Amino acid sequence: MTTPRVAAAGARSLIMDTAERLYATRGLAAVSLRQIGEAAGQRNKSAVQYHFSGRDDLIKAILAEHAEAIERHRAAMTARHGDPGLMPLRERVGCIVLPRIEHHIELGTPSWYGRFLAQVTVEPALREYAVRAHLDTASLRRLHDAGGAARGKDMARQLIVHLSAELEMELAREQPEPEVAAAAWRRLGADLVTAITGLLGALGGTDGGR
């Protein structure tokens, strides 16, 4: 027997998944909370407001859920590599980029997180929160504290977000087999690590040439 608490958690998760998909494919401004509730099969017209105080609260919950999943991948990766301060720059960049890539693979195809995040990061009212949601994790703070060009970090974030959104859209359109999609994501990850390592090195983020 499903308890009210379990049912509420299920409805909340369904609303978040539906909102992410609609925001990713239509844009933030084109989707109302009522449309999200209807698409999620909620009979109550105020269902979204029941679970979330408003649009921004809903979006922040989606961001937090993904950030937590990415952090699990990154914590495991950084634990294997050891002290970020002793890592070569390329390894440190890999620990920043590749956990996101693994999360995208984990989401499967189609997924919407890449395009959702690209929408959120160009929304002035939400951009800073989106940045903080991903930067304010223990493993990523250690990686950034280990060094790198601040200006390069902003550029790197733009590359990761928007190239991930583009690949996600391409895969959603083509619907390849899971192993083909995973290979495409890992190629993007390798390309991003190479590009961002070069960018940080050129901007002074080499940390003594390591």
* pLDDT per position as a tens digit, 6-54: 556 788 999 999 999 999 999 999 999 999 999 999 988 888 999 999 9
**Of 6, 148, 22, 167, nearest to 91 (Cα)?**
148
Query: Helix 150-174 vs helix 113-120: angle between axes, to the nearest 10 degrees?
Result: 140
The half-sphere exposure of 151 on its side-chain side, counting CA atoms within 13 A, is 5
Query: What pLDDT, on the 0 to 100 scale, is given for residue 209?
Result: 34
pLDDT at 64 over 90: yes
Give the list of residues 6+ apart from residue 200 with CB closer than 8 angstroms, or none.
89, 93, 148, 149, 152, 153, 156, 206
Query: What pLDDT, on the 0 to 100 scale, is given for residue 206?
Result: 45
Handedness of CA 159, 162, 166, 169 (dihedral sign): positive
Residue with tokens 């992410």: 20
What average pLDDT does the segment 87-96 reach?
A: 92
How far CA 64 is from CA of 28, 121, 131, 139, in Å, comes to 17, 14, 11, 15
| Model confidence band, residue 144 (pLDDT cutoffs 50, 70, 90) | confident
Distance CA 47, CA 49 (A): 5
Give the list of residues 6+ apart from residue 196 with CB closer than 8 angstroms, or none.
93, 96, 97, 152, 156, 159, 160
Residue with tokens 């083909």: 180
Query: What pLDDT, on the 0 to 100 scale, is given for residue 86?
Result: 86
Share of the chain above pLDDT 90, in %: 67
Position with higher pLDDT, 137 vs 91: 91
pLDDT at 130 over 90: no
Distance CA 141, CA 80 (A): 17
Position with higher pLDDT, 4 vs 14: 14
Which tokens sit at 58? 């809903």
pLDDT at 157 over 50: yes
Residue 99: asked if its preceding bond is cis (omega within 30°), the reply is no
How far CA 20 is from CA of 51, 154, 191, in Å, comes to 15, 24, 27
What average pLDDT does the segment 82-89 reach?
A: 86
Cα-Cα-Cα-Cα torsion 23, 25, 30, 31, nearest 10 degrees, comes to -40
Report the predicted TM-score, pTM, of the whole model to 2 decimal places. Answer: 0.88
Query: What pLDDT, on the 0 to 100 scale, is given for residue 207?
Result: 44
